[in-house]
Every structure is written in C-alpha cells, then in structure tokens.
Structure 1
C-alpha cells in the first residue's frame, strides 16, 4: 500500500513538472510569458529548440545567429512576431518560414543580409501574411531591396533605412499595393524616378530624411499624411498645381537648403510645417535688391519623351495655398529680414510660431496678424529693434501664453504690452537693453528708454530677464503677479541693495536665478526666510563670503553656490530643514579652508544630498589648492596638529595671566593680613559667659 502511494505521488509530481514545462513558465535562457519568448542578448548562435510550441512572439535580437536554417522555426507554427535584429545574420534558407505562414511582423535590422540576399528573398516570399518588415542596416542596394520585396504584396509597413540605396526606380515598389508606411532614411538617395510611388495608393507615411535629394518638384502624392524629407540638400519644393485635396498633415523640410518658401498644395490638411535651418528669405523689400519684381524662374521637367515647364515668380510673396488648418509653423534658423504684410493672416488656426534665429528687424502685431489662436511666439535671436503692437484693437493675441524676445536689440516696446495678453504665462526678455518700469513710471513708460510694466499681470508665472542691464529694481515692480520662476542673472545693479523687490512674490517663487548679480552679505540684506516655497536657488558667481543662515529654514531641492568667496558652509543650517530637503548642491570654485571641512564631512553623511561638482571642489592650505575629496594624509595630520597647537597656545597665553593674578592676590593678602584678621575678629567676636 505504501509503495502504491509513493508511486502515485511521484506520478503527480512528474505530471506537475510536465504541465509547468508545457505552459512555458520557466526556461534556462529565455524569459517566457503570455505566449512570448524574450531571448534578447543571450549570445545565442542558434534558435532555441525547446521553447513552447504555441509561442506567438519570439525575440532573438542582439545575439550571434548567422544563419536561419529550414528547420530552425519548424515547431513554432503559431509564430506571429519574430525579432532577429542585431545579429550577424547572413543567410535565411529558402524554406525557413514554410511553417510560419501566420507570421505578420519580422525584424531583420542590423544584419548582413546583402551577402545572400537572393536566397533570403525566396524565404520571404513564403510569408503571405507578412505586414511589417524591417530591413534597416543591411548594406542593401536598390536592386537588392527590389529583389527582397518584389512578392510581398501584403506589406503595410517597410523600413529599409540605413542601407546604401542611391536611386529609386519606378518599379521598385510597384507590387506593394497595401503599403501604408515606408522608411528610407539615412541612405544615399539623390534621384527618385517619376512614378516611383504612383502605385502606393494607401501610402500615408513616407520618410526620406538624411539623403541627398537636391529638389522636389511636381509633388503629387495626395494620399500622404506625413512626409519627412529633412536633412537633405533640397533647394526647391514645388507641389503640383492642382485643386485636388491633399491629405498631407505634416511636412518636414528642416535642415535643407531651401531658398524660398515652399510652393505648397493649394488644398491640404496641413497641420505642422517644419522649415527650420534653411536659407529662405523674402527679397522684395531688401535695401540692396536690384532685381525687378516680375523676374520668374522656369523648371524644365523631362520624363522620357514628355517635357513640362513650370514657371514660378521669384519675388511672389503671396501664399496661394489654403493654410487655415496649420497649427505649428517653424521657420527658425533662416535668413528672413521681414515677413510680408498678410503673410500670417490666412493661417487662422496657427497656435505655435517659431521665428527665432533669423534676421528680423521689425515685427508687427495687428488685430488679425498673427492670428488670435496663437499660443506660443518665439522671436528670439533676431535683430529686432522695435516691436510694433496695435494696442488700440481689442483681442490682441488673446490666447498667447509664451512670448520669447530674448537676444535682440529692442529699443521700443510698449510698456503696457502684457496688459493686452490676458493668458500670458511665460515671458523671456533676456539679453535686451530693457528695464522694469518703476512704480512712478508714466502709463506709456516714456520717461524711460525701454521699460516693461509687469505689475498686476495675474497670469504671469515665468519671467526671464537675464543680462538686461537692469537698474535697481523698484520695491514693488512685481506686485500683483504670481511668479513661480524668475531669472535676474547677470544684472549687476538689480538687487544690489536688498531682496526687497522680491518680497511681493516671495510666497509664490519656486525657481530663482540670481547668478552674477553682485550679491554680497556686506552690501545687501540676504534674508531668504520669507521664500518658503522656493525649490531651486542659483547664487553662483557672486561675492558671498558667508553662508546665508536664512537658507536653513527653506525646503530647497537645488542650491548653486559656485564661484563665491565662501571659506566654509554652515553646518547648523544643514542640520535644519535645508539638509532634509536638499537633493542637488553645487559648491566648486570657492576658497574653502582645508582645515575647516567639518561641514564637508557632514554633507557626505547626508545620503540624500548629491554634490554634483564634488570632484571639482577645492580648498586652500598654505597657499596650495587641493581637492577636498582627496586631501593627503599629511595635510589632515597637519590640520590636527594645528588644532592641538592652537589649544596649547591658548593654554600658554592663559597660564601667565592666571599666575600673575595669583601672585597679586597673595601679595595683597600678605600685605593686609593683620588688618583683615582684626576686622574679622571684631565682627565675629562673641562675649564669654565666664
């Protein structure tokens, strides 16, 4: 009976192990679960043969598999997703996928399939359900790609990026009628034959970025929703002249050599237009323009025996395209001196406009231009001397939240500009010669050269005034605001007297930068105790010779004290709230005393504080500059002896004084001994009863 029970238990245990193996809950090499096997980066040379037969997803990326044999995947009939990228795969035998007819996603990126591409192609042709194929980084030429994909009519997504394709012939994609996404990035394509994409009626996303295309003319892919041709050498972009509706939503022409604003489709659904880093300009109003306004350029397009001529006015500044759906326009890093009148008026949905890093000298804000939907406007790094704003009109930029005017040469700005932007939250006026209007300023600020009035702008949260050469800021310059971020860096006089101008916003400030603001404990009141919500404070590049004790009560997360005159830090302050909340601390380039680094040891005991520039923190010892984190033992020993010697010195100095006092007391006692005894006797004598 006992034997029977024993065999029954062993049998149940065996069944349990067998069931666990069948469900794929454990494996020696791969991680299994939910029908997937992750075998990435295991230095495998072969496909594991002992995985569950019902595996649907198999990831073998970043291994050393060189060949996929006919029997490698034989038992995995339900496989739908196979990843083999990052191997040294050179050959896929023609029958490798015969039992994987349900395979839909196949990644073969970063291999060496160029060596036996014709055999590999035969293997791919046996995948009737394949929808997504990645052949990136396989050193494939255009002819190799044509062979590999010629019978893959079910493909919806294809990537042949990072190969050596140089031109695209008209027949290369002709059988991919279901293709919706095509990635041709980072090849060497300099020519695309007419009709190459003509049969791809379902194509929605096309990327040709990082190639060598010189121009795009007669663009007629009406079905495309996204076209990325950035980082080429394109000088012209001309869409076909047609009233057909283009589905195009995103067009990326950034980082090219465009000379003119692109000729866009007349009717489209364009939402984002990226034109950054080109050579575009409008020419009609240039002072040195010598060309007549009716100069035209003709494009001669030869396709076999058919010749087309496209004529374009070189100076035409009118946009004939319907851009009412455009929300994002990036024209930064170009050569625009001005924008033609009415240029932005038709972009009624425009919300984000970037014109930074151009040559703009003036910019006009009228009632309808830029459009009222504008949320962010970036005009930084131009040559703006004047910002013309029609303050008499109602609804000037009613939705504007961010305005960046930094790094210009502004000489004329309406003082009450931000009183007409009811939703403004962020303003950057850094590196302009402007001032903050004092309390007694005129309504238009005319008493001051260029001053801006920020008072009572309730929505304003972030204000950047770095490097503006501000005069002493008035005590209530920011009253009525709820600023959380304030940058007054590189303003030598702004806070030279005290922190009083910041008291009105002390409870709302969270991030403050006072770098290089000539702050000194001797000349300014450095009381930060009222800034109870401050999280980040930059006090670098000032003249602080002692640590502001008021910082100890704050809940700072980041504190920058670089490039000051500090010889030590306050250990008492670090033991308060500051030491509990501080995460990042910058301390380098201060003249710390190597023999007074108790605070340094204490900081290291606080495991929550990260000294970002720890290896750069130095201290001074006998005119030598040493790294605080690596003080030689000889210096440490000398510092200890210095402390002992100092104590002995105090003792030696105190001993003569004590001896002198003792001798003086003894002399006085001996001199007046008789009189003192008589005085004591006379006072305390008691008569005897006898």
Structure 2
C-alpha cells in the first residue's frame, strides 16, 4: 500500500510538471477535501471550494465512491485568472467559476469532461477575443473533435461584445444561454449566426445590454425557444420579429425598457405567451384597448412599478380564460374597472402602492376575489374622499356604491375649498400681524423723533461764573 501511495504521488507530480510545461498549473487535488468541503450524496459528489484562496483548477478530482454518477463543483470567489483544462472524468459534471476574475480561457478546457452539463462563468472578465470554438470542444476520437453534452452555459456579466459565428459548433445540445450584462450594443451578423445556430435552445437571456432592436436572423431558427429575456435594454417597441418564434415562446420578459405605448398590434404575433413581464418601465404611459387581446393563453401578467401608467381600459383583457396571476403594484392607478377581468378566476392579484380612490369598482372587485387573496393583512389602500381618510380596499363595504361620482366630487371639492379657505385666513392673519408689527415699530420711532425735536434745550448752554465784587470778568 505504501509503495502504491508513493507511485500515485509521483504520478500526480508528473502531471503537475507536464501541466507547467504546457503553461498550465493546477491545485494539488490530494488535499482538496481538507481545504474545501466535499460531500458524498449518492449518486452525486459535491465539492464546495468557494472563497478558498485558489489560483488554479484542480489537478484531479478527489477520490469518490464507486456509486458516484455526477460531480458538482463550485469554485466561486477565488482568484483564477486563467481557466485551465479541467481534470478528466467520464461522470456527469457541473462546474461554477463565478467571481473568479477569469480573463483567459485555455483552448479545449472541457475536453476531459465530455459529459459536462452545466458551466457557470458569470461575473468574470472574459472578452470576445478570449472565446473561440476550441474552448468548447469535446474529446478527440478518430481524428475528429466530438461535441460536448453541455446543456447550460452562463456567460453573464463578462466583457463580451460579439461572438464568432461558429463558436457553438460543438454544443448542439445547448438548452440555455445566458449573455446578460455584457457589452452588446448591436447583434452583428456573426453574433446573430452564432445564436441562431442553437436549434435546441430553450432559454435565451440577453438582458441588461444596450440593444435597441432584435433582428429576425437572430432567432428565426430557434423554434424550440420557450423563454426570452430582453429586460433592461433600449427597446422602444415590443419586437415584431417575435412572430418568428410565436409557436414556442411562452415567457417574455421586457422589464426596464423605454417602451412608451402598447397597442392592439404589440403582441399580435405572440399568441402562445403564458407569462409576460413588463415591470419598471419608466416611459410606459399608454395601454390601448385590446392591447393584450391576442394573448389568449396568458396565465401570468407582471405590470408593476410603472410610474406613468394611470389607467387600464376595461377592454384591455377581452376573453382571457386562463389568466390566474396579475401584478399591478406601484403604478399610478386611482381606480380599476370592475369590467377589466374575471376576478373570481384569479389566484393572485396584487395592486398595492397605487394612489387609489375608494370606489364601487374596488368594492365589487373585492367581493369577487377569492378569500385567499382578500384576507391578506397587507393589502392595498384607497383614499375615501368622503372623510378624507385612507382605508384598506379589502375592508370596503357596499355603502361606497351608494355614493354617486358627482357627490364624491362635490365632497372632494368642498373639502378642498375648506382647506383653501383656512389656508387663506391663516395667511391673511399672519400678514395682518406682520403689518401691525411694522406699524407699531414705525410709530414708536416717529414719537421718539418728535420728542427729541420738542425738547427745550436743543444745544448745550455754558454759563460763566458772576463776580459779585467786580462785576463780570
């Protein structure tokens, strides 16, 4: 046993030496489970090396049970400037290298792990120039480079502005690609071809770039795409080219774009959408009737934090039998039409943070919503203009429906007039007091001046002593 151990040590040293010859350096794998946290949960072996001061990848995987079928390894928040070739295994592998300051990726980094399924390289400093097709090659068999089994590739928050057109040629099974938070201003022709080559892609994230448009050649062949995240770009309109993937697209995220208006043609080509998110849109101020009419299968709508959005037409959602979750928080609605939705079918309805005025509409909505929704203690608040007092919407009673809009307006105007009258009286009183003060000060000074003018001895008089014996001297 001792002899075998010595031999094994020599082999490891030899591997390290070979790595150095080819410009690659590795961490000693013998002590990895002493330095990191290794966990065997059959059939998965987990390695947690987060924040362990590593500068390189492992020379080899730690010894694990024969029943192990998968390896999950996380190396986040280390200082690994160069991503070297991963150690070999025929097991399924998932690796995470986030926040590692990676600037260079060695070619064929995944060659020894052909069954790798998940790679997270987000929050590093990888540039477009550092990425090439060679980075994603599989094993070399019969004079041919084999593809990888990779399903998820996360390159978010790096320094990528374009992709080579054939960069994904060895990733035919890729299902999820995350390019969020990079430097894409436009998707040039090479980048379009690269993305469009991923025929099995299910989820694409292009959020938090500076894109002003999405061209049809970027997604025309992504016929399996179910989720597209375009949030926090610079899109003025809902991209018309979504029609290219209308049969498959189910989840569309447009948060944080400068879209200012939705019309009855905005979603005409996205009829199979199930989830739509349009939060934090600072320019959105107009949603025309029938804007969401084409979305017959919509189940979840997120439309919150849009400060200019003041109204939803009663015909915004005609015939939406599947709609179950609606989020309308922190907009500028003062009322919501009772005709807007089939309230009894909703499982979730949130509309907190709006400047609502208590109305019969809100009472009727409250009556139709399920008790699971209305018994929430932190529900929406409205202003009762009859008494100028805020009230929980879910505590409204039918007496609000016996108040006509004109009466509400009259009460509001009357209250406003009373407030204005009191304000004017207060201002006039202050002005009068100030005037009297000035007048009193002026009168006091005037009387003082007059008193000085009337004093009998204006100037000083000097007398000489009288000489009683000789007269005046």
Q: TM-score when scaled to structure 1?
A: 0.46
Native 8 Å contact 1:337 1:360 kept in 2: yes
* Cross-structure match for 1:418: 195
* Cross-structure match for 1:264: 60
Query: Of 305, 317, 324, which aligns to 1:557?
Result: 324
Is the counterpart of residue 462 in structure 1 residue 227 in structure 2? Answer: yes
Unpaired runs of at least 5, structure 1: 1-215, 222-226, 233-246, 285-316, 444-452, 650-690
Native 8 Å contact 1:614 1:629 kept in 2: no
5 Å matches for 1:39-54? none
* Cross-structure match for 2:383: 620
Native 8 Å contact 2:311 2:333 kept in 1: yes
* Cross-structure match for 1:376: 152
SS of corresponding position for 1:352? strand
**Structure showing the higher helix proportion among its residues:** 2
Q: Deviation per CA, 1:6-49: give whole Å up to 9, x if none.
A: xxxxxxxxxxxxxxxxxxxxxxxxxxxxxxxxxxxxxxxxxxxx
For residues 519 and 218 of structure 1, what CA distance do their matches in structure 2 show?
A: 55
Is the counterpart of residue 255 in structure 1 residue 50 in structure 2? Answer: yes
Q: CA deviation at 1:607?
A: 2.4
Change (3 A) 1:267 1:629: closer
* Cross-structure match for 1:586: 350
Q: CA deviation at 1:428?
A: 0.9
For residues 497 and 566 of structure 1, what CA distance do their matches in structure 2 show?
A: 17
* Cross-structure match for 2:285: 520
Q: CA deviation at 1:337?
A: 1.8
Unpaired runs of at least 5, structure 2: 1-26, 139-147, 411-473
Change (3 A) 1:346 1:611: farther
For residues 498 and 644 of structure 1, what CA distance do their matches in structure 2 show?
A: 29
SS of corresponding position for 1:603? helix
Native 8 Å contact 2:225 2:245 kept in 1: no
Native 8 Å contact 1:351 1:375 kept in 2: yes
Native 8 Å contact 1:278 1:333 kept in 2: yes
For residues 85 and 394 of structure 2, what CA distance do their matches in structure 1 show?
A: 67
Native 8 Å contact 2:156 2:182 kept in 1: yes
Q: CA deviation at 1:366?
A: 0.8
Q: Deviation per CA, 1:433-492: give whole Å up to 9, x if none.
A: 1243346xxx6xxxxxxxxx2234211110011101124344344324420000011111
* Cross-structure match for 1:390: 166
Native 8 Å contact 1:249 1:270 kept in 2: yes
Change (3 A) 1:486 1:229: farther
* Cross-structure match for 1:275: 74
Is the counterpart of residue 571 in structure 1 residue 338 in structure 2? Answer: yes
Change (3 A) 1:218 1:358: closer
For residues 46 and 212 of structure 2, what CA distance do their matches in structure 1 show?
A: 40
SS of corresponding position for 1:502? coil
* Cross-structure match for 1:333: 99
SS of corresponding position for 2:301? strand
* Cross-structure match for 2:304: 540
Native 8 Å contact 2:85 2:111 kept in 1: no
SS of corresponding position for 2:340? helix
Native 8 Å contact 1:562 1:590 kept in 2: yes
Query: Of 124, 148, 173, which aligns to 1:358?
Result: 124
Change (3 A) 1:398 1:367: farther
Native 8 Å contact 2:360 2:401 kept in 1: no
* Cross-structure match for 1:606: 369
Change (3 A) 1:277 1:428: same
Aligned residues: 358
SS of corresponding position for 1:427? strand
Q: Deviation per CA, 1:289-326: give whole Å up to 9, x if none.
A: xxxxxxxxxxxxxxxxxxxxxxxxxxxx455x423435
For residues 562 and 485 of structure 1, what CA distance do their matches in structure 2 show?
A: 20
Query: Of 325, 336, 348, which aligns to 2:114?
Result: 348
Native 8 Å contact 1:587 1:613 kept in 2: no
Q: CA deviation at 1:333?
A: 3.0
Change (3 A) 1:611 1:281: farther
Change (3 A) 1:417 1:228: farther
Query: Of 173, 178, 189, which aligns to 1:404?
Result: 178
* Cross-structure match for 2:30: 219
Q: Deviation per CA, 1:229-269: give whole Å up to 9, x if none.
A: 6569xxxxxxxxxxxxxx99624133232322223259987
Q: CA deviation at 1:608?
A: 5.4
Q: Deviation per CA, 1:376-397: give whole Å up to 9, x if none.
A: 1111233333433426x8x442
* Cross-structure match for 2:258: 492
Q: CA deviation at 1:279?
A: 1.2
Q: TM-score when scaled to structure 2?
A: 0.64
5 Å matches for 1:115-264? 219=30, 230=36, 250-260=45-55, 261-264=57-60
For residues 539 and 645 of structure 1, what CA distance do their matches in structure 2 show?
A: 31
Highest relative contact order (Cα 8 Å, sep 6+), 1 or 2? 2
For residues 366 and 612 of structure 1, what CA distance do their matches in structure 2 show?
A: 56
Q: Deviation per CA, 1:391-427: give whole Å up to 9, x if none.
A: 6x8x442100001111222356512333211100101
Q: CA deviation at 1:368?
A: 6.7
- C-alpha RMSD of the superposition: 3.9
Q: CA deviation at 1:513?
A: 0.5
Change (3 A) 1:361 1:476: closer
Change (3 A) 1:514 1:217: closer
